[in-house]
Amino acid sequence: MFTLIKTDTTSKARRGRLLTAHGAIETPVFMPVGTQASVKALDNRELLEIKAQIILGNTYHLSIRPGMQIIEAAGGLHSFMNWHLPILTDSGGFQVFSLAKIRKIKNNGVEFRSHLDGSLLFLGPEEAMAIQRKLGSDIAMVFDECPPHDSPPREFQSAVDRTIRWAKECRQQPRADGQLVFAICQGGIHPRLRERCAKEVVAMDFDGYAIGGVSVGEPEPEMMQAVELTEPHLPTDKARYAMGLGTPAQLVELIARGVDMFDCVLPTRVARNGTAFTRKGTINIKAGHVKADLKPIEEKCGCFACQNHSRSYIRHLLNVNEILGLRLMSIHNSYFYNQLMQEIRSHIESGTFSEFREDFIANFVPSARIRALRSLER
């Protein structure tokens, strides 16, 4: 389970270790998103080289393609994709939010129209847990309802009611051998709802707890507020996961607020558009001023892209639509995120997280495009 190794004296930052059926996860941790059983543009060897400890899969998408019959025949998701470290699977609850135009919420679950062919599908607590059991993920997420951030209070109330009820139903479902189950806390920025949801799911004694309803279009102050309203009601001896977040600066600030685990498509998504993360912020590698720049994306970076290629070369690849360009960008950004987590773990251990936090936030200047990203599909 989860062991709290050290806490920061100047913030709520925590250094921990989560034990799973496929190995230990050192926290704080960033989890690359592999929605379709693949982290976009990266193969497993590259994920191991950037020291990814755990990746994500998605219940909704994998149940449609390739379908559970094929994954079961392969021996589960680990065997299907030949990944032998931990996997967390989202329950499909986020799609209740993101596929709002093709779904209908009912008391016992959600009726979908497939985004592929329009066929009728149903996903509820029993179905979501059964799929995750067959996938054999190390961490399964309960099925929840994630309303838009600007919903009226009555919709947040209804979503919290369903989330609590569905969590109880998920808790009663069988699970794969060694599978951990995390509950999800909803409630928007309503203090009473956040407190109620957190306290009720904590009373059910799950293996970990996630803060949901963030990265759904809300301004950053509201996202921070949602985390701050939830964290005090979560147990200190269980892992805490902020779903779908975020930029490097957001991760540093959320760790300071007591969060242990993160996932986000941002590193690989913006990589495919030519944006690279560095300690000083973001760089547009496609920009004209980079055309003859023979420096690596970032000096002293240990990733394969920076150790072997220049900005100029990668820009050329991107501009002529060579696949290698977006792969090298994805390698760099994913390495950056995982290296950031490794450094934060070291600073918490050594008692220097406060200085690191202040320095990083002062120097990291994201582009306007990164600042504008407010909702990221998982």
Rounded Cα distance between 228 and 231, Å, is 6
Is 293 annotated as catalytic? no
Q: Are 30 and 268 in contact (CB under 8 A)?
A: no
Task: Measure Cα distances from 205 to 171, 208, 328 in Å.
Answer: 9, 8, 42
Task: Measure Cα distances from 31 to 117, 232, 356 in Å.
Answer: 30, 24, 22
| Strand, helix or coil for residue 155 | helix
Beta strand segments in the chain, E = 2-7, 14-20, 23-27, 29-32, 55-58, 87-90, 103-106, 109-113, 120-123, 139-141, 180-185, 208-211, 239-242, 261-264, 275-278, 281-284
Closest CA to 182 of 377, 35, 1: 1
Closest CA to 63 of 102, 90, 96, 40: 90
Q: Are 90 and 56 in contact (CB under 8 A)?
A: yes
Is 90 annotated as catalytic? yes
Q: Which residues contact 132 (CB under 8 A, 6 or more apart)?
A: 59, 89, 91, 140, 141, 175, 176, 179
**DSSP β-bridge partners for residue 211:** 185, 242
Cis peptide before 76 (omega within 30 of 0): no
Catalytic residue among 138, 144, 260, 263: 263
Q: How many CB atoms lie within 10 A of CB 279?
A: 15
Half-sphere exposure of 307 (CA within 13 A, CB side): 7
Catalytic residue among 90, 138, 207, 260: 90
Closest CA to 87 of 38, 146, 41: 38
Q: Which residues contact 337 (CB under 8 A, 6 or more apart)?
A: 30, 32, 248, 251, 267, 277
What positions carry a catalytic annotation? 90, 263
